Amino acid sequence: MRKVDELFERYGESHRNRTNKAIHWVCVPAIMWSVLAALWAASPMAAWAGVALATAFYLWLSLPIALGMLVVSVAMIYPLNSLGSDTFFVAAVVFVVAWIGQFIGHAIEGRKPSFVEDVRFFLVGPAWLLSDLYRRLGVRY
């Protein structure tokens, strides 16, 4: 089994409940955006460095996943200039609210969040959502 499939399968084991999955479709991108926004607030270079490191991880998984996640990351970073000095505050609020949602989803699921077992799942979660979208669109990854 390819590493990407193995990680997605392991991540998916604690994301089978329909409500938890729906919550993840909202909260995982929100968390990703909030982390990029917080990095941007510290320094735009920090945000781009984070994107570069994440892209390297995604390349290790799959070129189509890496390209898709790069597009998603750029789309998330693009509007950050418009927040100005409020960027970090907004990022912090979104981060906290989204994590509350995640924990509610996992309480409904009855399983702990995947990152407890493997820290890579912080990066796998967004890619897992993208892989679902790819499957629906017939895109091989």
- pLDDT tens for 54-79 read 999 999 999 999 999 999 999 999 99
- pLDDT tens for 79-89 read 998 999 999 99
Per-residue pLDDT, 8: 96
Nearest to 51 by CA among 25, 71, 23, 31: 71
Query: What is the pTM assigned to this prediction?
Result: 0.93
Nearest to 24 by CA among 91, 103, 138, 116: 103
- pLDDT tens for 88-126 read 999 999 999 999 999 999 999 999 888 888 899 999 999
Per-residue CA distances from 91 to 31, 36, 63, 99 (Å): 9, 8, 29, 12
Q: What is the mean pLDDT of residues 124-136?
A: 97
Structure token pair of residue 53: 């490191």
Distance between CA atoms of residues 141 and 139, nearest Å:
6
CA dihedral for 33, 134, 15, 117, sign (positive or negative) = negative
Nearest to 34 by CA among 106, 101, 133, 118: 101
Name 23's Cβ contacts closer than 8 Å, sequence gap at least 6.
Answer: 101, 102, 104, 105, 108
Mean pLDDT of the chain: 96
Reported as a pLDDT band with limits 50, 70 and 90, residue 133 is: very high
